[in-house]
Amino acid sequence: MKLTRRALMMAAAGAAGTPRLMAAAGPAPYGALPSKRQLAWHEMEVYAFLHFTTNTFTDKEWGFGDESPSIFNPTAFDAAAIVDGLKAGGMKGLIITAKHHDGFCLWPTRTTRHSVAASPWRGGKGDVVGELSRAAAKAGLKFGVYLSPWDRNTALYAKPAYVDLYRRQLTELMTRFGPLFEVWHDGANGGDGFYGGAREKRTIDKKTYYGWPETWALVRKHQPGACIFSDVGPDVRWVGNERGIAGETCWATSDPVGEAGGDASPGDAKAKLLNVGTRNGSRWLPAECDVSIRPGWFWHEKENERVKTARQLMDLYYRSVGRGASFLLNVPPDRRGLLHENDLASLRGFGSILAKTFAADMAAGAKVTASDERPGCAAAGLVDGKRETYWATQDGVKQAEAVLELARPAAFDVVRVREAIALGQRVDSIAVDAWQDGNWKQIGAATGVGAARIFKLDSPVTAPKIRLRVTESPVCPAIAEVGLFLEKA
């Protein structure tokens, strides 16, 4: 079955229509469903974070807000070179810290003088956000922005007028740099800072101060295709740690709870719960795994030898994308305004493993038979390489299996299963078996599938056929893909 708008509408309407169409109707959607923008986001899987600001020049992680713009002066900033490096690393997009907590704006904003326009870089005519957005578009990468709600520079912070300033900054970012795929709102909020010279501690009420619903409405208005990220969404949630690791089970549905119980808000959500999500949660709110290629988020000379290896990045990929979440890898530009050679080497290594591993799907062309098939949702849809076509069983059939007879016995150590998530997160658990010496041998089992469930085997298995078992599901399953790959270093 192909997930056409018509099929979805028919499914939602309880398969009303002519008898012939009824017979071919897909299953009714289950639970909370992803939006169109979330479905597009799910397809990205791997994208980059660029942490870059005055911190790069002061060797700090959090600037106080009193940094002079005169210190921002990258000697060889080259947006195209940065984007090239990210592309070689398999990144499908990038998100730039347009403003971090220190308040320095990387684009020539009309809202404050604390920006690149006051720096010596490019004689005050530079625009980091603009150059990166154009380089990304040229290279076919999607573009996103991080705008820190906490601003330690402005005298207005913690007063009502700052919220208006923040919205004006956001509006500039939403309207000047082309289509955005994601807008990032950090949860770190309030504390001491420069605040226009006051040099004091300021706290805000995380639930009410920013007026998030109104702020997010601005993003919707100007960038309807952009996913909004914060600890609690509304489109993408934080995974609850900065190590890049999703829960072994990580539901795309989620009902975040505040640290002390009750309502959650950006900066106040139980991290453990974000890490696993909520089975049958009321919102489709998938997790994003943010992690830096280095110990810190910003570039520091002393961390040049502590860059994660391609192998470590691959392991993070399996623990993020392989658990239905996304992998947001931070690669911070250095003082030249370039990615450091060590970071580039890891990126290239990682990108090459990804590309080579997933280039050949040994399940392609397999002959598939299933214990049950819904008319129009044949099991052959599992191996056609398309996320839109899927295998589903008839209503009421909640346990089922599909056997893939491979075109020829193949060695693989990566098994990837995807649900047809446009119809919701349906399945509770699955198992995968390989035919070994005349018997089925289980090689993987998991709770939760969603956008992707990847089993990385310790060593390659050679088998003439494999079996996918849906072991528990509250409704008939709808599985989009089963892929078999051999990791190639």
User: Between 113 and 302, whose beta carbon lies closer to ligand FUL?
Assistant: 302
Binding range to ligand FUL, per CB under 6 A, among 31-39, 181-189, 350-358, 460-468: 181-189
User: Between 26 and 149, whose beta carbon lies closer to ligand FUL?
Assistant: 149
Residue 12's φ and ψ, nearest 5 degrees, are -65, -35
Question: How many angstroms separate the first and last alpha carbons of the chain?
Answer: 36
User: Between 191 and 385, whose beta carbon lies closer to ligand FUL?
Assistant: 191
- Interface of this chain with ligand FUL, residues 50 to 69, rule: CB under 6 A: 61
Binding range to ligand FUL, per CB under 6 A, among 12-20, 182-190, 253-261, 409-417: 182-190
CB of 99 to ligand FUL, least distance (A): 11
Is residue 271 within the footprint of ligand FUL (CB under 6 A)? no
CB of 173 to ligand FUL, least distance (A): 16
CB of 186 to ligand FUL, least distance (A): 5
CB of 231 to ligand FUL, least distance (A): 9
In whole angstroms, what separates CA 360 from the centre of its chain?
24
- Interface of this chain with ligand FUL, residues 292 to 311, rule: CB under 6 A: 297
Q: How many chain residues bind ligand FUL (CB under 6 A)?
A: 6
Provide the mask over 214-233, with x wherever binding to ligand FUL is found by CB under 6 A and - wherever it is not.
Answer: --------------------
Is residue 186 within the footprint of ligand FUL (CB under 6 A)? yes
CB of 370 to ligand FUL, least distance (A): 44
Is residue 327 within the footprint of ligand FUL (CB under 6 A)? no
Residues 476, 420: Cα–Cα separation, whole Å: 12
User: Which residue number is nearest to ligand FUL in terms of Cβ?
Assistant: 188
User: Between 294 and 426, whose beta carbon lies closer to ligand FUL?
Assistant: 294
Closest listed residue to residue 224, CA positions, set 35, 58, 70, 96: 35
Binding range to ligand FUL, per CB under 6 A, among 16-24, 183-191, 414-422, 461-469: 183-191
CB of 3 to ligand FUL, least distance (A): 34
User: Between 186 and 268, whose beta carbon lies closer to ligand FUL?
Assistant: 186
User: Which sign, positive or negative, has the C-alpha torsion 12, 14, 15, 18?
Assistant: negative
CB of 342 to ligand FUL, least distance (A): 21
User: Between 188 and 489, whose beta carbon lies closer to ligand FUL?
Assistant: 188
Is residue 290 within the footprint of ligand FUL (CB under 6 A)? yes
Binding site for ligand FUL (CB under 6 A): 61, 186-188, 290, 297
